[in-house]
Structure 1
Amino acid sequence: MRKIAIALLSTTALFGISAQPASAADIARPVYKAPPPVVAMYNWTGFYAGGNIGWGWSSGDGDIIINGAAGTFSGSGDGFFGGVQAGYNWQNGPWVVGIETDFQASAGNGSISGFAGGNTLTASGDSPWFGTIRGRLGVAQDRALWYVTGGALYSKSEYDGIVTGFGPFSGSDTTWTWTVGGGLEWALFDRWTAKIEYLYAGPSSSVPSIPATRVTDGWADTHIIRTGLNFRF
């Protein structure tokens, strides 16, 4: 009888030990999910160059003296333009600092008229080219760069007209002024970006030399809006 009890205990123990692995296999193992891949933020640092097209318009008015008589003048102009730009960006965190220069060929033209006593001035002109040298300060939101910009604008003006009491005249002038604006640049691919930009320019540093005529006071506003593509090197 004792031998039978010992045999039963041994058999029970054997089955208990052999059953443990089966019971452990029935317990669900925890599932560990792989962490999501880390996506690198877009880096705006580096050289870039590209092209742009746009539209510009301007208007102005002021006081004028023609043949010794005081009067007023006004003028306006507009036109398409296109050109190239190049620059460099430095990025530190979300902040992007850069410098950019551009040169544009322009189809802009306009006219000016003045009246002083019995004297009149009528003239027309065009601006075959202009360019800017500007700094840029922006905030990057990954592939989007919002920025403000400011610096200098230079331009070429060619004009001809007539002043009563004097006759016809013509000439050309290269002038400088300041410009400010802002824009949005978007990274399309790793090396290609697109932008839209607005610039405002103040009155020129000098006015065209017109015979028997002198501008005593005046103001002019110029607005530029353009879109372009850049390639980052």
Structure 2
Amino acid sequence: MTMRKALLASAIAMPVAFAGTTTFAGGMAEAVVVPAPVVAPVAPVASNDWTGFYAGGQVGYGQLDNDALDDDTNGALYGLHAGYLYDLGSFVVGGEIDADATTIESASPGDGVELDSVARAKLRLGYDAGDWMPYVVAGAMTATTSGAVDGDGTGGFAGVGIDYQWSDNMRIGWEVLQHQFEDFADTDGLDIDATTATLRASFKF
């Protein structure tokens, strides 16, 4: 009886084992291959290295404002500038010096004031936007005058500007500055404001 039970159990187990093997094999044949995800290429961000020395010139317009001055105290200005910028990635820092001669004078030169020249020392902070660099600027200056006020004085200024990288070695830009002088030429109460707007061209070395 024991032998018969053993044979019967073997007979039942063999189909089960065979069925399991067939299921495994079928499972292998029906395996699904999942494709790798496709990553879309990222467009490169335009960049420009603003680091380096530069020098150039500027031309523009300026106006003086003071209660004692003629309302038409204005004229042209022209000059040279030179500086150095360092590109930190998103931001650009640097320093610059410039000097302008001007034709800014009151409508009545004999009774008014003439602004002969302005020299500035600047600190610049800009944003690297590829070929464009908007920036803020501030610093100290000295100016000389003639006419009714004959002398020189120092003051401060601040402003904004933007540069464009025209080519590998050339930049063009625009800058507006607001200047303030207190007790100009050591004259009590002679406070002068001046606004200038210039077009600039610079060569990078």
Distance apart, 1:218 and its partner CA: 5.2
Distance apart, 1:41 and its partner CA: 2.0
CA distance in 2, matches of 1:228, 1:38: 30
Distance apart, 1:206 and its partner CA: 2.7
Q: Is the 8 A contact 2:70 2:112 kept in 1?
A: no
- Match of residue 180, structure 1, among 158, 161, 179: 158
Query: Could you say which residue in structure 2 is the equivalent of 1:231?
Result: 203
Residue identity in the other structure for 1:195: G
Query: Could you say which residue in structure 2 is the equivalent of 1:110?
Result: 106
Query: Which secondary structure does the structure 1 equivalent of 2:49 belong to?
Result: coil
TM-score computed with the length of structure 1 as normaliser: 0.64
- Tell me if 1:82 matches 2:78: yes
Computing the radius of gyration from Cα coordinates, the structure with the larger value is 2
Distance apart, 1:219 and its partner CA: 3.7
Q: Is the 8 A contact 2:96 2:122 kept in 1?
A: yes
Task: Identify, as 1 or 2, the structure richer in helix.
Answer: 2
CA distance in 2, matches of 1:36, 1:98: 32
Residue identity in the other structure for 1:229: A
Q: Is the 8 A contact 1:111 1:125 kept in 2?
A: no
- Tell me if 1:45 matches 2:48: no
CA distance in 1, matches of 2:183, 2:191: 11
CA distance in 2, matches of 1:60, 1:102: 24
CA distance in 2, matches of 1:231, 1:57: 28
RMSD: 2.6
Which segments of structure 1 move beyond 4 Å, counting only runs of 4 or more? 35-40
Residue identity in the other structure for 1:187: Q
Residues 1-233 of structure 1: pairs in structure 2 closer than 5 A = 41-61=47-67, 73-76=68-71, 77-110=73-106, 123-160=111-148, 172-207=150-185, 217=189, 219-233=191-205
Distance apart, 1:125 and its partner CA: 2.5
Taking a change above 3 Å as real, the CA distance of residues 156 and 189 of structure 1, as seen in their structure-2 partners, is same
**Which structure 2 residue ranges, 5 or more long, are not aligned?**
1-40
Distance apart, 1:154 and its partner CA: 1.1
Bigger relative contact order, structure 1 or 2, given CA contacts below 8 A and separation 6+? 1
CA distance in 1, matches of 2:77, 2:188: 31
Between the aligned residues of both structures, percent identity stands at 25
CA distance in 2, matches of 1:80, 1:59: 15
CA distance in 2, matches of 1:85, 1:95: 21
TM-score computed with the length of structure 2 as normaliser: 0.72
CA distance in 2, matches of 1:159, 1:149: 30
**Which structure 1 residue ranges, 5 or more long, are not aligned?**
1-34, 62-72, 113-121, 161-170, 209-214
CA distance in 2, matches of 1:40, 1:141: 8
